[in-house]
A and B are shown apart, each in its own frame.
Chain A
């Protein structure tokens, strides 16, 4: 019997308390529970890279290099498939089957993280309610930013007459990989963006620990942009002013110059060429820093300025003055990035080698304020904003004094083009926006090896298509004609 007992005893020991044995918490992994877990998620540096460069290949500021260009990175033949499709105004898909779309995919990937924080942080353990609300609010700003970017790239521009019917983008508000989502209207996306911002604003911090943190001034800047896009100029002006009240720093570009034989650091202080132009982390103009996505190339030395853009820089420029933006960030006729000098007479290469913030910056606030002011009838105020910005950008500048709102408005629009020629997708969005705001319509021309690709600025091809990767997995998603 003794033996049986021993046997059974060991048998029972083995079977006993399974669940307790298995219920241990592995190290190195976390199931987020407490406030700090969510804080860390919101501090994921990959959330910062939020806008792709490639939509610029559709707009009118850019010109490709020759098929085999002296500046090899700008050679049309070496362009990615996407860039070629965009530059040649191809119909249909712009990505190859299964190809990663750095715009759509990074946005929705960020939205997943924001959703996790937004939907869970308020019930997190530890931490004060105010702190939880602040994290919740910062995540809401982040999510709103992604939706506003998406809706302006993948949908028709906000048109008060048709926004409730126009296709927007899929609205995903839960962190569930098995859910069915819906491609909602443009209006619904704007409503979501505004409601997120209004939820967030009172809870945002007033002091910023770094330029990547969403604070009160970010909320106002954001609202001013949303209202500008919606054509609500009064609200746009109001919020731009509030934001400028908190930060209206502008950098004096005349302090900077170029140095040769280098790429990064080629824009530097005149007085000390080892101090380079501030990047998104240090730039005092950045209200909220975001960066371009790393996929699909950088905007450095990969394309030339279009003739129109070059002309725009010459426009409104007082005699004897220098537009430092054109001088510092472009290379005219030749480039010196290393031991070899690359020559491209008559052409102007965009090569700032500066990591700009693509989030919210004070110059944009000045421009929104100026545009909103002139559109709401206050031309003087508009000129005030405009000239302040121009003074920091143009060496030996002379103030613009026109009293004609039409001219002032045109100058403001041109100034946007000069200030943010390749910033995020701003030029593309402006082309679509102005078609609705001012019935503005023009021809976009892309020359290549003696040929010119041409398209009206109201063409539906300015709306980027749903990536084929999404279509292959969700073939029923409604789409724009392209």
Chain B
């Protein structure tokens, strides 16, 4: 076991920092104990630490010592004299050196005639925290010292031509030329666990040297995230890892089946889960990713190629994201505190481009004139938009033209959006606090952290999630052969408050802008939902519930309580068995407990409406309430319990530095239990907690002759009852690598997963996933700038097992009763299907790494080809066999791409540096084989398409040829002829536009440091894709039911008179109830498809580290101030200036929507260390 000298020195020293009141007399009676033990005893008795500077004598050397109440000096003489060692006491540190050498060498040195001087310096770590106990040696002579508590050191009599070696456990050694004032010297931190290699890659199962890693791996460390204040983990790593993309637009075709909205190297599946596997501290993570405090993260590694899967098994064919959290470093206790305040203004309303009240009133008037009903046919029980009510009054001759305009003017002049100050915060304010304590000795290290987040809300007074997270990480080294890790990670979130009305929603959109929240006289305004005042009065007269709805009074009508508790216990024991071989036993248990209780109080609009709608009044006048009076309470509880138990052997062998073998083999069992309860109670009283039962046989049937507007009502069953799912897995895996002469590495890995997945054929489960790889450090060539270069390649096979389908017939009992007979019923969930095969992805990856200009420019290039065959998907089957869709292997897909990472230290000066990083990735997705049954034009243009020969999520459009003289849209067929209906189009007449998923992702980061000031910013570019731009609505609907809110201003510009068709931007004429065959020509028009490329300046941050000299006198080790701006600037390729990250409009079925533009966010952060 190699434990470096400095480790011993440091750890022994630091173990006892803080001991103060010790006696000077020592009593020791020991036979055959190590020097180390003796010094440890001395330390206990005196408080003196030691520093072992004797290179030739092992501190484990066994000695005998018997002293009784002797002073320190004589004890040490007695102990060290025989070993030919000398000592020197500096403050509270005993420095031990070889005796004879010192005299010889120092006398030799004195012969030299160079100028002697005193050297002073101040040593700090990268956070400018002073380092205590760093060793400074003068090269070649046994002269040296260690730094004091404040990081200062001083050595006398150093010749001016000598060099100083500075070493410190956990930091890279540094050699500098001696001069009298060295100023501040910053040491670079190493991953303390593996000092012997420079860069390691944490795969979760093992840490391997980057020098031996053949796979395609991207990694970021805490250092890379410094100065980023994004409170959310994913946002904080955005743009840092080539090949990892965050999908921000929730409506994007990329985002379906991808609940994490992150994607590694494109999509390799259509129907299966597309999110990558998340691994935290070596174990798969089932919890909410927000439970991980981004400040606690030591590194994030993304495994992108076949090696990922063969390490992690079936869940990992979409890539694996390995998160390692910070662990304690042996040394003085460090305390870090940081506080981030975040400010964001209300989103811009002008981006929404909505009609003003006046424009809306005029638009409604026009629409009314195109299509409206008879005045006589107005149903007095139903509510109607106020403007249409006025228009009907005119139509019915009740009011004059003049009176109508006068009344309409009232609405034209009202604007709710300008009257929201009272209810909305113009700036949302979030805050986050982090406290971390870490430290330890060589036997025990710890890292504890506490994190509290409280987001704000635009709604004044609305409750938000309070989040309290904590992490306790402990590493114990009990004996030389046994060490233990014990981690606890937890997060509690809770929120409780009234949510009966959302002012923010009614600021961004909602009811027409002329509906105010407060009347002109300041009283709370009443709004109407479906029922008119006439109907509300009628119901009140019958003695039924009052359905008067006053938004300001409705806030308290709905009350919500939410909490979510996550707890993760992670233990790992390591046993060293023989030299080179050790065994890890690890166990993780996770528990998530979620609760959501929504109380609709007895006056809630939905409750009174439901009670009235279900009420029957008999001929005798008796009131029969099928839904009981009182509040309604929905409660959902779910808990997810999982555990993983893993045993793993690690083997490492190195013979003469020529042959190096590293191998692991292990087995794992894992269980995930997901339980869920959902209840819904009627007639609930929140104080007594009692409720009234409901006749469940009424669910789902039409109850006739009720007081509902349509005289019948159906009570939908809201309660979904219980779920209890258990997934179990057993896995076996092994991987190993062989390195020859540190030049060539060959590696391989294999994994087998078995599970209880229901109905899965056991024969499918023995198929292993595997990968092989090679890495070659190419010989140095005769080109000066090239320091090192290497080539690596991997190939392997991943797979996905069909989970819910297999050789057995599976039925499920329906949650609802058969409403024809009120009995329980079941349905067949999936037919027996013994012919299913695995979905298999073959991944080939070649990578090149170059280090140029003395490590000033690091370049990584990866080229991959990912071929997925036997894509699993719900595939059309001959319905004659009873099923028209079954899960089958139905297609093939290919992802090819290139990833380029350039990391340049452009300028490296003492006071100024400039680092620049470019991550570029290009992914070309192509579906090579797929059975798609729907092949009429509609099925091509209605939504993004997955079809053979094109990338996933591609758009098709219609060649729109403008309007005819009646304002009807025309489509141009491939032969040039014009048609008025899509039914005359064929697929060949459609225009292929390209994919809606960006193939190019680029991030460009720059960091400038001038003395203690750091400026960094990042641009991201996503491009090469298309989007269906914003366009006016094809107007055709019944006005009073459909045109009731502030639509896009574009809607105003439509064909009204012959000749208007000459304006190319004009929308078609109003055509009553136009069928989709006509309106689709316009909605799916080629001219609305635009480039979706965009560049965003994601963040700019400016950090200032208070100069070390300023804070040295205080207890603080560093103080850093950071200011950051997010979403500061963007450029988009589309002419409407739409933000493709919020745009909603991939489908022609739904009306396009600009989305809500994210406002700029200003973050201010303070971090201090003690």
Interface residues of A (CB under 8 A from B): 3-4, 6-7, 10-11, 13-15, 18, 21-24, 26-32, 37, 40-41, 43-46, 48, 72, 77-78, 96-98, 100-101, 104-105, 108-109, 111-113, 115-116, 170, 172, 175-179, 181, 209-213, 262, 264-265, 272, 274, 276, 280-281, 289, 338-341, 467, 469-470, 472-474
Contact = CB atoms under 8 A, between A and B. Distances in A.
Contact of A3 (B577, B813, B827): B577
B818 interface: yes
Contacts of B726: 24, 26-27
B2 interface: no
A172 B882 CA distance: 9
A181 B881 contact: yes
Interface string B945-980: 000000000000000000000000000000000000
Given A18-B730, A31-B809, A177 B886 contact: yes
Interface stretch (B111-119, B210-218, B865-873, B932-940): B932-940
A289 to B, nearest CB: 7
A233 to B, nearest CB: 33
B933 A97 contact: yes
B477 interface: no
A21 B730 contact: yes
Question: Which of A101, A177, A264 has the largest number of chain B CB atoms within 10 A?
Answer: A177
B935 A474 contact: no
A193 B970 CA distance: 53
27 contacts: A3-B583, A7-B647, A10-B585, A11-B647, A14-B646, A15-B667, A21-B756, A26-B726, A29-B811, A41-B828, A44-B818, A45-B825, A78-B1073, A98-B933, A104-B880, A111-B882, A112-B881, A176-B881, A177-B831, A177-B877, A178-B834, A212-B821, A289-B820, A338-B377, A339-B378, A340-B373, A469-B933
B669 A14 contact: yes
Contact of B882 (A6, A108, A213): A108
B623 interface: no
B812 interface: yes
Category for how many chain B residues contact A: 35 or more
A45 B877 contact: no
B712 interface: yes
Interface string B823-859: 1111111011111000000000000000000000000
Contacts of A264: 702, 704, 712
A274 B705 contact: yes
A104 B879 contact: yes
A22 B820 contact: no
Given A104-B880, A212-B820, A274-B704, A40 B811 contact: yes
Given A10-B585, A469-B884, A105 B812 contact: no
Interface in B1056-1100: 1073, 1075
Given A7-B577, A112-B882, A32 B809 contact: yes
Contacts of B877: 177, 473
Given A100-B884, A172-B880, A7 B705 contact: no
A7 B583 contact: yes
Nearest to B819: A45
A280 B809 CA distance: 32
A175 B647 contact: no
A395 B33 CA distance: 118
Contact of B876 (A29, A98, A274): A98
Interface in B664-723: 667-669, 702, 704-705, 710-712, 723
B826 A44 contact: yes
Interface string B470-492: 00000000000110000000000
B818 A43 contact: yes
A15 B732 CA distance: 9
Question: Which of B723, B813, B820 has the largest number of chain A CB atoms within 10 A?
Answer: B820
B308 to A, nearest CB: 22
Question: Which of A15, A27, A28, A276 has the largest number of chain B CB atoms within 10 A?
Answer: A28
B619 interface: yes
B30 interface: no
B414 interface: no
A303 to B, nearest CB: 18
Given A18-B730, A177-B877, A98 B723 contact: no
Contacts of B730: 18, 21-22
Nearest to A48: B820
B162 interface: no
B724 A3 contact: no
A341 B377 CA distance: 8
Nearest to B808: A31
A218 to B, nearest CB: 15
A24 B726 CA distance: 9
Contact of A28 (B725, B828, B879): B725
Contacts of A4: 577-578
Given A40-B813, A280-B820, 6 more contacts: A10-B585, A18-B730, A30-B810, A40-B826, A112-B882, A211-B820
Contacts of A274: 619, 704-705
Contacts of A21: 669, 728, 730, 756
Contacts of A44: 814, 818, 825-827
B460 interface: no
A108 B377 contact: no
A18 B754 contact: yes
B914 interface: no
Given A10-B583, A22-B755, A44-B818, A116 B809 contact: yes
B575 A7 contact: yes
Contacts of B809: 31-32, 116, 175
Closest 10 CB pairs of A and B: A112-B882, A40-B826, A98-B933, A7-B583, A339-B377, A210-B821, A473-B878, A105-B879, A45-B818, A274-B705
A18 B583 CA distance: 21
Contacts of B884: 100, 105, 109, 469
Nearest to A472: B933
Contacts of A32: 809, 811
Interface in B645-674: 645-647, 649, 667-669
A342 B669 CA distance: 69
Contact of B832 (A108, A175, A340, A472): A175
A40 B482 CA distance: 57
A126 B1039 CA distance: 61
Contacts of B647: 7, 10-11, 13-14
A77 B1075 contact: yes
B882 A3 contact: no
A213 B818 CA distance: 13
A33 to B, nearest CB: 10
Given A22-B730, A98-B934, A265 B711 contact: yes
Nearest to A84: B983
Contacts of A108: 879-882
Given A10-B585, A26-B756, A105-B884, A37 B811 contact: yes
B822 to A, nearest CB: 8
Interface in B734-762: 754-756, 758-759
Nearest to B826: A40
Interface in B876-897: 876-884, 886
Contacts of A24: 726, 728, 756
Nearest to A341: B377
Given A29-B758, A29-B829, A6 B810 contact: no
B120 interface: no
B669 A112 contact: no
B712 A265 contact: yes
Given A97-B935, A264-B712, A30 B811 contact: yes
A29 B832 contact: no
Contacts of A181: 880-881
B979 to A, nearest CB: 16
B561 interface: no
Contacts of A101: 879
B823 A43 contact: yes
B283 to A, nearest CB: 15
